[in-house]
Amino acid sequence: MRNALELVIPAESAELRALRRQIEIWASPYLPASVMEDLKLAITEACANSVLHSGTKEIRVSVRFVDACVEVVVEDDGIYRELLTGVEDDAEAHRGLALMGALVDDLSLSRGTESRAGTTVRMRKCLA
């Protein structure tokens, strides 16, 4: 089994389709389709947030198996720009964190600031 997938991608929305495909190629031999789809969506959402909201130039993605779980880290060098909580009438969406939280078992966010740039999203999805 390939233990980890490590990627560095430009912070451009056009890169997200290729990212999803790389995750699928790497994980499909080991994960049920439903788990893989949840992870692809959660990872893509974390990366899309970096592209749209952080001002970073690149995104680092790490996906690895740890025991019966898949652990994901998405990092950028940007500044976290907190947005208002999404509401039903919000045409701009702003539901990314809630979506990621619904797709994985554990989610944490370390926010990049003006004095300490770099946002990190950690996710864990267990198979058992």
The residue ranges of every structural domain in the chain are 4-126
CATH 3.30.565.10 fits 4-126, yes or no: yes
Q: In this structure, how many other beta carbons lie within 10 angstroms of the beta carbon of residue 100?
A: 23
Q: Name the band, by pLDDT with cuts 50, 70 and 90, for residue 84.
A: very low
pLDDT at 14: 94
Look at residue 95 and tell me whether its pLDDT is greater than 80.
no
Mean pLDDT of 91-109: 84
Higher pLDDT pick, 107 / 96 = 107
How do residues 30-50 score in pLDDT, each as one tens digit? Answer: 899 999 999 999 999 999 999
Helix (H) or strand (E) holding 62: strand 58-66
Element (H, E) at 106: strand 106-110
> How high does pLDDT run on average in the chain?
87
